[in-house]
Amino acid sequence: MHDTVTASYLWLIPALPLLGVLLNATLGARLGRGLVAVVAPAVVGGAFAVSLVALTDLLGRPAGSALVNHVYPWIHAGSLQLDIVLRVDPLSAVMILVVTGVGFLIHVYSVGYMAHEPDYARYFTYLNLFTFSMLVLVLADNLPLLFVGWEGVGLCSYLLIGFWYTKDENASAGKKAFVVNRIGDAGFLLGMFLIYWHLGTGVHSFSFGEVAARVREIPLGIVTIAALLLFVGATGKSAQLPLYVWLPDAMAGPTPVSALIHAATMVTAGVYMIARLNFLYVLTPTAMTVVAWIGALTALFAATIGLAQNDIKKVLAYSTISQLGYMFLAVGVGAFSAGIFHLMTHAFFKALLFLGAGSVIHGMSGEQDMQKMGGLRRHMPITFGTLFLANLAIAGIPPFAGFFSKDEILLHAFTGVHGSVVLWLLGAMGAGLTAFYMYRLLFLTFYGECRAEAEVAHHIHESPSSMTVPLVILAVLSVAGGWIGLPAHWLWGNRFGEFLAPVFGHHEAEHVSAAVEYGLMAVSVLVAAAGIGLAYFFYVVQPALPMIIAWRAGRLYDLIFNKYYIDEFYDAAVVQPIHRASVWLWRVWDVLVVDGLVNGTASAVAANSGLWRLLQTGNVQHYALSFLLGAVAILGYYAWW
Amino acid sequence: MPLSYYLALSALLFAIGAAGVLIRRNVIVIFMAIELMLNAVNLAFVAGARHWHNLDGQVIVFFVMTVAAAEAAVGLAIIIAMFRNRQTLNADELNLLRW
């Protein structure tokens, strides 16, 4: 279907971070911070350089080409010839550049952010391992290898979220992320097995190309089920309804981790996977509709929760969930390249937002409650400036990066084959709320009077340059990163979409009148501007007003403030029943039945032995008597029989 | 005299010996009772040998006497060692073989 070209250097991309893992894990603790602080970012930077080479290589070839590197024969059983094959096509090229590029900046930032951390080497080992897993995920040429990376990022997120494992709360946040992801992964595995099963013994390499070529041999109903099962996996990894609950808790990890995992890489894996399997999803309108609706609902749902959160990182966490919802909305309505476009721009501005929040927390001596911040604008000008730009980007103000990607998604939600007015409306409402709560965050943090305690307020300072330089670079990307995907007919048009088109085919080409396009664009800009204006009025002009409204709204405010009690609901509906069933199994089945059987057998044997033990008196004469009786018995036997 | 008389005497002596081994408490007396059992067997062998005109029985008797002599030497040594350790020759108190 596409021309594939062998490129035997692709293995370097994941191998470099893996080298970092090996060096940091074995030598890091002994050779000290200097080595770790150089090696960990350097290997990711190296991977970025190789990724750039791969991109140049790819751009120099005819459209539709893909670079392929056979690394190692993996599982050869019968007709199955599963190999470790890395593939760089336009889709994975975008992904590796985002992962290594943004990942590199986050590594550099971490050098400054984690400077006072005793477990320096362990942190960077995990961070490198995470980058390695994510690169395996996006470079994989077949589903099983993708799953290896998929599980790898799951493991690393568990390790990194629970990085400060001595705190109970953090350790259980890591556990929660792990368990919720396992639920999704069960769906992923079932979907993968279903595809394999129905392709039968004819499957040779399980590569995406092979599955794409043969997907029509599978009955449509099975394709739908497989697509939905795989989507269950995506909802777990990408924190969508109903499996989003781990992501807000994941903020317990170090802030750069939140930036890397929960903005730029791992959570986008679900979007990537569906985009990668676009040939599967386009066959089944049912699955597409489910994906789009879950995405749109998540986008709006998470945005409403974001309105009332006071922890600066929690706001960003719900914003991430909401933005991921937009990506799923995009792939669900068939606008795959728009989804990937938003994935990329979101990686820029959300990484910036998290790192900026980290800079704020750093400056505030660890304070995360926005109600205790305020007036930081003067103390942290670089952080403030970059965050302001990131906010413009996420709110969807032109010409910042987020505008182009979000607008493209909303356009396709409105006009797309699988789109509808309701989906668009959900997305547009979410966009307005996003503008509002993001500016609420900005105004509460940087404007007004400082509400921190005198001790903390006295120490507020701008972060070191290892932290601010990545902020500035990400700010540039947040401003200009969207310009490669301009709306059609503008200047150079949507270069990004054209670049990705060979991967996604042409099933997203639909004709849109200019009036509709500009109308929608105007609406989304107005909605965003209204959200910002409202936030300005509430949090700068009339700072007392939010309290009054919260008090007036009463129940509704409580509902939102408590995140719709979803965690409590899960606890009551899922966790507690499982917990009670486990206790029952433990007390009744394990202790009574299993232990009863095992110990019962043992005591029966012991009682029996006790009986026979009585024969053993130790008295020679008793033994002699038994000899005699035995001898008499034997003699008797010979004498009478 | 018929063979049965010898065998009856032998059986009687053997039973007395066995009874001594089982009933008496003093280890030395038990030891002597064992010797009595051995001699009862010897008597049966000799009687048998003479009755069937076959020297095998006589030869076995010498073996038994040899073994008895060796046994007496070793057994007495064991008894002395036991007495030194436990200050008693009462078989009821020598029950370390238990469990």
So what's the ipTM on this one?
0.82
Which distant-in-sequence residues (6+ apart) come within 8 Å of B2 by Cβ?
A: none
**Cβ count within 10 A of residue A379:** 18
User: What is the chain A residue with the closest CA to B97?
Assistant: A618
Backbone torsions φ then ψ of A544, nearest 5 degrees: -80, -20
Q: Are strands A80-88 and A65-77 parallel, antiparallel or unpaired?
A: antiparallel
| pLDDT value of residue A366 | 79
pLDDT tops 80 at residue A236: yes
Chain B neighbors of A617, CB-CB under 8 A: 95, 98
Q: What is the pLDDT of residues B60-92, one digit of tens each?
A: 999 999 999 999 999 999 999 989 988 888 888
A619–B18: do the CB atoms touch at under 8 Å?
A: no
Q: Do B96 and A625 touch (CB under 8 A)?
A: no
Partners of residue B30 in chain A, C-beta under 8 Å? 621
| Spatial contact of A408 and A402, defined as CB atoms under 8 Å apart | no
| Token output for A103 | 């990942």
Residue A507 has pLDDT above 70, yes or no: no
pLDDT score for A16: 94
CA atoms of A211 and A203, how far apart (whole Å): 8
**Beta bridge pairs of residue A485:** A494
- Cα–Cα distances (Å) from A567 to A154, A303, A311, A410, A573, in that order, read 21, 17, 17, 30, 10
- From residue A98, alpha-carbon distances to A74, A92, A102, A188, A551 in Å are 28, 10, 6, 24, 43
Give the separation between CA A411 and CA A329, rounded to whole angstroms: 11
Chain A residues with CB-CB distance to B95 below 8 A: 617-619
Angle between helices A514-536 and A381-395 (to 10 degrees): 140
**Quick one: how many helices (H) and strands (E) in chain A?**
29, 3
How far is it, in rounded angstroms, from Cα A570 to Cα A572? 5
**Residue A4 β-bridge partners:** A66
Could you tell me which chain A residue has the CA closest to the CA of B31? A621
Alpha carbon separation from A150 to A10, A236, A295, A551, A599 (Å, rounded): 19, 11, 20, 44, 43
Beta-bridge partner residues of A66: A4
A626, closest residue in chain B (CA to CA): B22
In terms of Cβ atoms closer than 10 Å to its own Cβ (0-12, 13-18, 19+), residue A409 is: buried
- Interface of A to B at Cβ within 8 Å reads 613, 616-621, 623-625, 628
User: Which residue of B18, B23, B95 is in closest CB contact with A619?
Assistant: B95
- For A177, the token pair is 């992320």
Chain A, nearest residue to B95 by Cα: A618
B98/A616 Cβ within 8 A: yes
- Picking from A502, A501, A341, the residue whose alpha carbon sits closest to that of residue A4 is A502
Check whether A510 has a pLDDT greater than 70: no
What type of residue sits at position A281? Y
Is the pLDDT confidence value at A204 over 80? no
Question: What ranges in A71-119 are assigned the alpha helix state H?
Answer: 90-113
* Longest CA pairwise span in chain B (Å): 51
Rounded distance, CA A175 to CA A475, Å?
A: 33
Q: Which of A427, A435, A444, A262 is closest to A355 using CA atoms?
A: A262
Please provide the DSSP assignment of A328-372 as one string. HHHHHTT-HHHHHHHHHHHHHHHHHHHHHHHHHHHHTTT--BGGG
Please state, in angstroms and rounded to a whole number, the distance separating the CA atoms of residues A503 and A498: 10
- Side-chain half-sphere CA neighbours of B63 within 13 A: 8
Q: How many CB atoms lie within 10 A of CB A330?
A: 36
DSSP at A260? I
Mean pLDDT estimate for chain A: 87
**Chain A residues close to B96, C-beta within 8 Å:** 618
DSSP-assigned beta bridge partners for residue A67: A5, A88
Q: Does the pLDDT value for residue A508 go beyond 60? A: no
Q: What is the pLDDT of residue A1?
A: 45
Please list the residues that pair with A494 across neighbouring strands: A485
- CA distance to partner chain A, nearest, from residue B52 (Å): 21
Cα A208 to its chain centre, rounded Å, is 22
User: Are the C-beta atoms of A516 and A424 separated by less than 8 Å?
Assistant: no
Q: Is the pLDDT assigned to residue B99 strictly greater than 60?
A: no
Residues A253 and A163 sit within 8 Å (Cβ to Cβ): yes
Give this prediction's pTM.
0.79
pLDDT tens digit string along A538-548?
888 877 777 77
**Quick check: A156 and A260 in contact, CB under 8 A?**
no
Distance from B58 to chain A by nearest Cα, in Å? 23
pLDDT band at residue A245 under the 50/70/90 scheme: confident
* Residue of B18, B23, B95 with shortest CB distance to A617: B95
Q: Which residues in chain B have Cβ-Cβ distances shorter than 8 Å to A635?
A: none
User: For residues A399 and A412, what is the distance between their CA atoms, to the nearest angstrom?
Assistant: 19
Dist. CA A332–CA A339, nearest whole Å:
9
Indicate whether A420 pLDDT > 50. yes
Residue A620 to residue B91, Cβ atoms within 8 A: yes
Q: Is the dihedral of CA A8, A13, A16, A22 positive or negative?
A: negative
Alpha helices in chain B (DSSP H): 3-23, 27-52, 56-86
Question: Which of B91, B92, B99 is closest, CB to CB, to A616?
Answer: B99
Contact A618 B92 (CB under 8 A): no
For B22, name the nearest residue in chain A, comparing CA atoms only.
Answer: A621
Beta bridge partner(s), residue A140: A86
Give the residue from A619, A622, A623 with the most B CB atoms within 10 Å of its CB, the best one to mutate.
Answer: A619
The verdict on a CB contact (< 8 Å) between A628 and B22 is: yes
Which residues partner with A80 through β-bridges?
A: A77
How many CB pairs below 8 Å do chains A and B form together? 31
Closest CA to A21 of A124, A153, A163, A134: A124
pLDDT of A619 > 50? The answer is yes
- Mutate one of A621, A628, A629 to test the B interface: name it (highest B CB count within 10 A): A621
Q: Tell me what the mean pLDDT of segment A524-533 comes to.
A: 89
Name every chain B residue with its beta carbon within 8 A of the beta carbon of A624.
21-22
A chain contacts of residue B23, beta-carbon cutoff 8 Å: 621
What are A268's two structure tokens?
Answer: 């986008």
A52-72 pLDDT, tens digit each? 999 999 988 888 888 999 988
Mean pLDDT, residues A33-61: 91
Query: Could you give the CA distance from residue A435 to residue A390 in angstroms, rounded to a whole number?
Result: 11
Q: Please give the pLDDT value at position A319.
A: 92
Determine, for residues B98 and A624 on separate chains, whether the beta-carbon distance falls below 8 Å: no
Q: Which residues on chain B are in Cβ contact (under 8 Å) with A619?
A: 91-92, 94-95, 97-98
Q: Identify all chain B residues contacting A623, using CB atoms and an 8 Å cutoff.
A: 97
- Between the CA of residue A435 and those of A43, A323, A430, A540, what are the distances in Å? 37, 12, 9, 15
| Closest CA in chain B for residue A625 | B22
Handedness of CA A509, A426, A524, A513 (dihedral sign): positive
**How close A629 gets to chain B, by Cα (Å)?**
11
Q: In chain B, which residues touch A (CB < 8 A)?
A: 18, 21-23, 30, 91-92, 94-99
> φ, ψ for residue A377 (rounded to 5)?
-50, -45
User: Distance (Å) from the C-alpha of residue B1 to the closest C-alpha of chain A?
Assistant: 24
| Minimum mean pLDDT range among A384-388, A543-547, A599-603 | A543-547
For residue A485, what pLDDT is reported? 81
Query: Which H or E element spans position A525?
Result: helix A514-536
- What are the phi and psi torsion angles at A6 (to 5°)? -75, 130
For B25, the closest chain A residue by CA position comes to: A621
With beta carbons under 8 A apart, name residues in chain A contacting B97: 616, 618-620, 623
Packed helices A269-276 and A312-332: angle between N→C axes, nearest 10 degrees: 10
Write out the DSSP string of A41-70: HHHHHHHHHHHHHHHHHHHTS-TTEEEEEE
User: What are the chain A neighbours of B75 within 8 Å (beta carbons)?
Assistant: none
**Among residues A285, A195, A186, which one has the least CA distance to residue A243?**
A186
Whether pLDDT at B45 is above 60: yes
Q: Is the pLDDT of residue A20 over 60?
A: yes
* Consecutive H or E run containing A300: helix A285-306
Nearest to A409 by CA among A292, A493, A311: A292
Neighbours of B71 (CB within 10 A): 15
Q: How far is A595 from chain B (nearest CA, A)?
A: 29
Lowest-pLDDT range of A389-393, A448-452, A498-502: A448-452
Distance to chain B for A596, nearest Cα, Å: 28
User: Would the pLDDT of A379 be above 90?
Assistant: no
